[in-house]
Structure 1
Amino acid sequence: MKTLIRRLTRYFGDFRPTGDQRLLAALEDFRNPEACELELLRRLIAALRPEDTNDDQSNRRYALMLERLEDDAALRAGFRHHVIHFVGSRRLLSFFTDSGILPGTGFFSEWWRILGNRLLPEVPDERRMKDCLHLIFSDRDDWRWLEAVPAELAHRFWEILAPPETFREMDRRGVQEQMLDALLLLAHRVSGLGLEGELMRASPNLEDDSPRFVALSAEALEFVRGFRAGLDGDDSRFDNGDQLLVIVDQCQDTLNRIRKRALTIGTSLHLSYILTRSEQSLQRITELTRILTAGLRNAPHEVAIRDWTIFAREVFLAENRRHSLRHYMQQLSGVLAVRVTENAARSGEHYICETRTDYHRMWRSAAGAGILIGIMALLKIKAAALGAPLFVEAFLFSMIYGLGFVTIFLLGFTVATKQPAMTAQTLAGLLDGLKPNRQADLERIADVAAAVSRSQLAAIGGNVMVALPVAILVSLAAAFLFGGPPVDTAKAAHLMADLDPLSWAVPHAAIAGFYLFLSGLISGYFDNRAAYANIGPRIARLGWLQRLAGKDRAVRAGDYIENHLGGIMGNFLFGCMLGSTGMIGTLLGLPLDIRHIAFSSANLGYAFGGFEFAMAWQALLWGALGVALIGLTNLGVSFALALRTAMGARRIAFAHWGPLLAALGRRFRQQPRSFLLPPEEPRENGGH
C-alpha cells in the first residue's frame, strides 16, 4: 500500500498535509480550553512520529514545535494549561513506582504477560498516567525516535511547561504527595527484596548488610513524614534527603558486590531478576528524592528541570518498551550472559597456542580426535544402513555423535570446530576497552589473532589429516580382511554427492556452525549452573557414593563432575543436535541436514575406498573443495555468532574495525609466518 501511495504521489502529487502542517494543526488545537487533553497529546505525538524508519525529520519537527510555542505566548499558555491539567488529573503512583521497573510477578509471569499482550492487548485505564503513556505513544517503536531527540530539545520542552516565573506558583502538592507515596513504597519494596533468600545465598555476608535494607525503609518513612510536615507549613521539618541517599548508596554497594560475586560463583535468572528490580527501585528512589528536594538544596531551576528531563525521558522510553520481549531479556541478560560467555572465554584460552610446545600439543590433541572421528563416521554410516525407523535412526545418530564428542572431550582431545565459539569470547574480552590510538592495544589484538589463526589451522590439520587416512586405512583393512570396503559403490556415490560444493553442503555446514555456537553457550550455561548450585559438594554428600567409593573419592568425583559438567553437556547436546537434524527435516519436509568438516573428510576417505581407490583425481579434488568450504562455513558461522553474543553480553559497541583491520593487515604483511606457525623458541646462551 505504501509503495502504491508513493507511485501515485510521484505522478499526481501528494494532496495530504505535510508533516509540518499536521504538527502546526495539532498545536493550534491546544488553544481550545474545552478540548480533551488526552486526544490533544495523541494527535501531537502522531504528528511528531516519523512516517517510516527512513524518515529523519522527527527532530526537525520537534524543534519546529518548540519554536512555535516559544514565539506565541497565547499558544504557549494554552499548551501549558492542558499538559499540566492532564498530569495533575491522573493517578501517578504506578507511574512513579512501576514504569521502567520490573514487576514483582517474576521472570516467567512477565514473559507470558508480554506474549499474551501480543494476542490480546491490555485494556488501558485512562485515569492512570502509566496507561495513558501507552495511548499517547501508541506505536511500539516510538521509543526509537524519542530516544534520538537531543537532550537540549527535551530540556527546552520542559522549560516551556515549567518556566522559573511560574514554577513556584504551580499547584504541585498533589504531584508531590504521590511522589512521596511512591518513594515510601519503593523503599519498603527494596527492604523486602534485600532480605530475599536468593540474595543471602549469593552473598554470605548479606546478613551483616541486612541492617542497611531495614534502615532504608525507616529512613524513607522519616523523610516522608518530615517533608509532608514541611509542606503543611513547618519548614524546620524539611529534610534534604542526604541521609536517605547515603543509605541508598550503601544498599547499591551491597548489590554491586553480589553481582561481582555472581561472576565467580554463578548466577540464575531469578537472582538476576531480583538484582535488576532492586537496582531499578534504588535508582528511582534517588531520582524522586532529587526532584522533591531540588528547592531545598537551592538547586538552580535549570538543574531541577534537567533532573526531571532525564527522569521523564528514561521512564517514557521504558514504558514504551514494556511490551518488548527483546528489551525485557536485555534487562536480565547482563550477569547471566557475561557469566556464560566468561566460562567460554576461559575455555577459549586453552585453545590458543602461544608457544611451539602449545602448537605441538594442539596437533597431538587434534590428531587423537581425528582417530575417533574416523571411527564415529563409520559407525554413523553403518547405523544409516540399518534402515531403522526415523526416530530410532535419529537416536542412534545422536548417541554416536554425542557419546563420541564426550569421549573426545574427556580424553583431552580437540575438535577443530569447537574452537571458534570459545576463542571468540576471548577476543571479545580484548576488544572491551580497546583504544585504537594505542599501538600496544592493537598489537596485542594482532598477537592473539595470529595465535588463534595458527591454533585453528593446527586443529583442522590434526582432525582432517588424521580422520581422512584413518578412513582409508579402515577401508584397506576391511578389503583385506573381509574382501571388500565397508561401503559399497552406491553409498560411496552418495557420500560424494553430500560433499558437492554446488549442493546443499554449504547451507548444511552453516546449520552445523550454528549448533557449534549453541554448544559453546550450553557449555557456559552448565558451568555456571554447576558452580551456582554447588554440584560438586552435593555429589560428594551422596550417601550411596560415599559407601561405594569412600568420602575422599566421592569428593574427587564431585569436583571432577563440577569442573567438567559444562564440557560434557555441551558436547553431548551438540551431538544430539547433529544427529536429530535430518529427522526434523524429514518430518517438516525441509532440506535440513548438517555437514561437519572432520566427518566430511572421513566420509571422503570412505567414499574413496568404496570406489576401490579408483576415483578420478578431478572428483577427488572436487570433494576436497567441498570439505574445505564446509570447514570455512563451520568456522565462520560459529565464530561470528559467538563474537556477536560475547560483545553483546559485555555491552561492547565496538566502532574501530578500521584501525583494527589495518593493524591485522600490517601484521600479516610483516610476519605472515606467525599466522601459520608458532614463534621460534629462544636459544640457550652459550650454545654454538
Structure 2
Amino acid sequence: MTRYHGILATLRSPRHLPLLKSLTQLLRRLRPRAAASDQRLLDTLAAFRNEQADALSLLRRLIAALRPAHAGDEGTPARYALLLECLEQDATLAAAFRHHVLTFIGSRRLLTFFTDSGILPGTGFFSEWWRILGNRLLPEAPDERRMRDCLQLIFERRDDWRWLEAIPAPLAQRFWTVLAPAEDFRDLDRRGVQEQMLDAILLLAHRVSGLGVEDELMRASPNLDDDAPRFIALSAEALEFVSAFRAGLDGDAERFDNGDQLQVIVDQCQDTLKRIRKRALTIGTSLHLSYLLTRGEQSLQRLAELVAILTAGLRQVPHEAAISQWAAFARAVFLAENRRHSLRHYLGQLSGVLAVRVTENAARSGEHYICDTPADYRKMWRSAAGAGALIGVMALLKIKAATLHAPPFVEAFLFSMIYGLGFVLIYLLGLTVATKQPAMTAQTLAGLLGELKPNRSAELERVADVAAAVSRSQLAAIFGNVVVAFPVALLVGLAFTLLGGEAVGPDKALHLLGDLDPLSWAIPHAAIAGFYLFLSGLISGYFDNRAAYADIGRRIGHLRWLRALAGRARAERIGCYIEDRLGGIMGNFLFGCMLGSTGMLGAMLGLPLDIRHIAFSSANLGYALGGLDYAIAWQALLLGVLGVALIGLTNLGVSFALALRTAMRARRIEFAHWGPLLGAIGRRLRSQPGSFLRPPRPPAA
C-alpha cells in the first residue's frame, strides 16, 4: 500500500501532471466504448428470449456484438467472458439460448460441414486457386440450409478468424458446456447429428481409399504392395463400424462399436502418408503430390476426430473431456471455414513439403560455398577470380550491345542472353559469383538454427564456426570477383586503345560513373538485383527437385536418338550430368534473363527500374576510367568505389535476408534466441577476428 501511495504521489507531481491528464482522458474515451459494446451484447442476448426469432439472424447479431469494433479493440475475450457469465447466471436465458442454437444446428445439413470444412477439395490445386480468385470478384451465393454456408454468413468478414483465434480455449469449452450441460446431455436429441456424422465417416473413408490408389501417391510410396491394402481395408472397416453403430442406436446395445479397429487402420494409413512425405524430401515432390498428401492427411484426421466424438460415451470419456474434444474440433473447423477464401492460407497448406525440398536443395549447394580449410579458401579465390575475368568480358559485351540502339525487346533479349549464357558458362566451369552465395549459405544457416539449443554452448560455438566460415568465404569470393573484374576491364580498355579504338566513349564513361553514384538510384537497383539473386536460389532448388522427382536423368538416357548418336553408356552419363546440374543451369540462366529484361520492363511501365550488380559495377568502373583516359578527380573515383561497395552490400544483404527468412518459414522455425547467438558470434569476433577473414591453420602433426 505504501508503494501504491508513492506511485500516486509521483504521478501527481508537477512534472508528471501532463502524463496523468492524458491517461485520464484516454480512460474516459475508452469507458463509453466498452460500456456501449457490453450493452449491445446484452441487448443481443435478450433477443434470444423470443422463441419466434430466427436463429440464424440471432447468431449473426451475436457474432457482430462480439467482433472487435476497430483494429485496436482487444476486448473480444472480455465480451465473450461476459456472454458466458450471463448464460451461466440466468438459467432461463441459457435455456432459450440453448434452444435457438440447437434448433439451428439440428435443422441444417451437416454432411459437408463434417467432410469438407477445413479439408482441401478434390478439384485440384489450380482449380481451387481459380475458385478463390473468382470468389473475390463474384462471391458464391450461400445456401442457408447448409451449415457450411451458414458459417460464411455468421462469420461474414474475412478476418474474423483473427479474433476468434484469440479467444482462450477454456472460454470456448465453457460455451459448449452451457449448450450441452452434463445433467441434460443424455436428454438432448442428437440422433440427426449422429446420423450425419456416420455418413461423413463413410464418405471420408471412401475418399481416403480412393486417394490411396492414386498413381502419383503410389509412385512415391516406398512399399507399394504393403501400403495399398491398408487404404482399401479402410473403407470396409468404416462400413462395418457405421453399420454396428447404427444398430446400437436402434436399440441393439451389444452391437455398439467403440471404433478401436477402425482407428488402428487410420493410424496405419497416416503412417504411410508420413513416410511418403518424408521420402518426398529425398526423391523430390510436386504440387500435385503435396496436394494429395495434404488432402489425405486432413481427411484421416477428420475421420479420427469424428469417430472419437461419436464413441466418447462408449469409451467412458468424462463429460468435460468430451466437451473439450468437441470444442477443439469446432474451433478448428470454424477457423478453417472462415479462411476458406484466403489465397495465402491455401498456399500455406501446400507449400510445406515443396518449400522444404527446394530450400534443402539450396542448402546442399550452400555447403559447397563454405571454406573450412586453407585449401578450400585458395580454391574459392581461384574460382572467384576466374568468374571475375569472365564478368569483365560480359560487362563489355553488354556495353557494346547497348550501343546498337536496338528496339527495346531486342535489346532486352541481347542483355538477357549475355547475362544468362555468361552465368551458365561460369557455373559449368565451376567458377564462383560472390552474389550467388548468400541465397545458398542462408539455407545452411537456417538448418543449423532449426536444430540449435541456445542453452548448449557447444551448439552456439558450432553456429559461430559456420558464421565465421561464411564470412571468410563470402569475402574471398567478393574480392576474387571485384579485384579481377576491375583490372580485366582496365586491360581490355587499354587493348582497345592500343589497337586504335575505344572500349567506351567519354559520354558512356560518364554515364557509367553516374550509375555508381550512391545518391542516385544505385542502391534501390542493387536491392532489385538482390531480390533476383534470392529468386535464382529458389529457382535452382525447384529445378533440382523437379529433376529428381521426374527422373530426368534416366529419361534423357533412354532417348533413342541420343543413344543412337552417343551410345548407351554415354547417353546415360549425359542424362546424369544434366540431372545433377539442371537446377544450377536454370537458376543462372533465368537470373540472367531477369537482370537483362528489368530495364525494358521499367521503360514499359514508366518506372525507374534497373539492376546493379557488384561484379559488373566494378568492371564498369574500370571501363569508365579507361573511357576518360584516367583523367578523373580522386573524389569522383572515391565516390565510384563507395558506390561499388554499397551496391555489393545491398546485393548480399537483401538476398541473404530473404533466403534466411524463406528457409526458416519453410522449416517452420520460430527462432527467438538471437541474443545468445549474436553474443557467441561477438565473442568469436573479439577472440579470433582473423577467422572471419581467413581459415585457421590446421594443427601441426
What TM-score do the two structures reach when normalised by structure 2? 0.95
Summarize deviations over 1:254-297 as a string: whole Å, max 9, x none.
11111111111111101111110000000000000000000000
Runs of 4+ in 1 over 3 A off after TM superposition: 9-17
**Match for residue 250 of structure 1 among 268, 273, 279:** 268
CA contact (8 A) 1:200 1:207 kept: no
Is the alpha carbon distance of 1:136 and 1:369 closer, same or farther for their aligned partners in structure 2, counting shifts above 3 Å? same
- Counterparts of 1:16 and 1:198 in 2: how far apart (Å)? 55
Supply the AA of the counterpart residue of 1:191.
S
**Residue of structure 2 in register with 1:186 after alignment:** 204
- Counterparts of 1:653 and 1:45 in 2: how far apart (Å)? 32
CA contact (8 A) 2:222 2:276 kept: no
Instruction: Report the alpha carbon displacement of residue 12 of structure 1 after superposing the two structures with TM.
Output: 13
**Residues 211-610 of structure 1: matches in 2 within 5 Å?**
211-482=229-500, 484-610=501-627
Supply the AA of the counterpart residue of 2:547.
A
**Residue of structure 2 in register with 1:3 after alignment:** none
Supply the AA of the counterpart residue of 2:542.
Y
Is the alpha carbon distance of 1:12 and 1:651 closer, same or farther for their aligned partners in structure 2, counting shifts above 3 Å? closer
Indicate the larger mover: 366-375 or 473-482. Answer: 473-482
- Counterparts of 1:10 and 1:631 in 2: how far apart (Å)? 54
CA contact (8 A) 2:522 2:643 kept: yes
Summarize deviations over 1:103-131 as a string: whole Å, max 9, x none.
01111100000000000010001110000
Instruction: Report the alpha carbon displacement of residue 462 of structure 1 after superposing the two structures with TM.
Output: 0.4
CA contact (8 A) 1:199 1:206 kept: no
CA contact (8 A) 2:359 2:541 kept: yes
Summarize deviations over 1:29-88 as a string: whole Å, max 9, x none.
111111111111111111111123322111111111111211111111111111111111
Instruction: Report the alpha carbon displacement of residue 10 of structure 1 after superposing the two structures with TM.
Output: 9.7
**Residue of structure 1 in register with 2:217 after alignment:** 199
- Counterparts of 1:133 and 1:12 in 2: how far apart (Å)? 31
- Counterparts of 2:687 and 2:79 in 1: how far apart (Å)? 53
**Residue of structure 2 in register with 1:4 after alignment:** none
What is the DSSP-based 3-state SS (H/G/I as helix, E as strand, rest coil) of the residue aligned with 2:502? coil
Identity %: 77
Q: Does 1:30 align with 2:30?
A: no
**Residues 601-620 of structure 1: matches in 2 within 5 Å?**
601-620=618-637
What is the DSSP-based 3-state SS (H/G/I as helix, E as strand, rest coil) of the residue aligned with 1:18? helix
Q: Which runs of 5+ in 1 are unaligned?
A: 1-6
Supply the AA of the counterpart residue of 2:183.
E
What is the DSSP-based 3-state SS (H/G/I as helix, E as strand, rest coil) of the residue aligned with 1:432? helix
Summarize deviations over 1:455-509 as a string: whole Å, max 9, x none.
1101101000100011011111111122x43101100000000000000000000
Indicate the larger mover: 21-30 or 329-338. Answer: 21-30
- Counterparts of 1:12 and 1:475 in 2: how far apart (Å)? 72
What is the DSSP-based 3-state SS (H/G/I as helix, E as strand, rest coil) of the residue aligned with 1:577? helix
**Match for residue 136 of structure 2 among 118, 128, 140:** 118
Instruction: Report the alpha carbon displacement of residue 396 of structure 1 after superposing the two structures with TM.
Output: 0.4
Supply the AA of the counterpart residue of 1:234.
D
Indicate the larger mover: 104-113 or 470-479. Answer: 470-479
Summarize deviations over 1:549-602 as a string: whole Å, max 9, x none.
111100000000000000000000000000000000011111000000000000
What is the DSSP-based 3-state SS (H/G/I as helix, E as strand, rest coil) of the residue aligned with 1:100? coil
Is the alpha carbon distance of 1:278 and 1:16 closer, same or farther for their aligned partners in structure 2, counting shifts above 3 Å? closer
**Residue of structure 2 in register with 1:62 after alignment:** 80
Supply the AA of the counterpart residue of 2:519.
L
Q: Does 1:148 align with 2:150?
A: no
- Counterparts of 2:302 and 2:514 in 1: how far apart (Å)? 63
- Counterparts of 1:368 and 1:426 in 2: how far apart (Å)? 25
Q: Does 1:667 align with 2:684?
A: yes
Supply the AA of the counterpart residue of 1:461.
F
Indicate the larger mover: 253-262 or 277-286. Answer: 253-262
What is the DSSP-based 3-state SS (H/G/I as helix, E as strand, rest coil) of the residue aligned with 2:203? helix
Supply the AA of the counterpart residue of 2:523.
V
Supply the AA of the counterpart residue of 1:549.
A
CA contact (8 A) 1:155 1:306 kept: yes
Instruction: Report the alpha carbon displacement of residue 200 of structure 1 after superposing the two structures with TM.
Output: 1.4
Instruction: Report the alpha carbon displacement of residue 206 of structure 1 after superposing the two structures with TM.
Output: 2.1
- Counterparts of 2:71 and 2:287 in 1: how far apart (Å)? 34
Q: Does 1:73 align with 2:91?
A: yes
- Counterparts of 1:13 and 1:234 in 2: how far apart (Å)? 59
Instruction: Report the alpha carbon displacement of residue 14 of structure 1 after superposing the two structures with TM.
Output: 6.6
CA contact (8 A) 1:344 1:523 kept: yes
- Counterparts of 1:158 and 1:170 in 2: how far apart (Å)? 13
What is the DSSP-based 3-state SS (H/G/I as helix, E as strand, rest coil) of the residue aligned with 1:664? helix
Summarize deviations over 1:633-685 as a string: whole Å, max 9, x none.
1011111111111111111111222222222222222222111111122122x
Supply the AA of the counterpart residue of 1:449.
A
Summarize deviations over 1:397-420 as a string: whole Å, max 9, x none.
000000000000000000000001
- Counterparts of 2:185 and 2:373 in 1: how far apart (Å)? 70
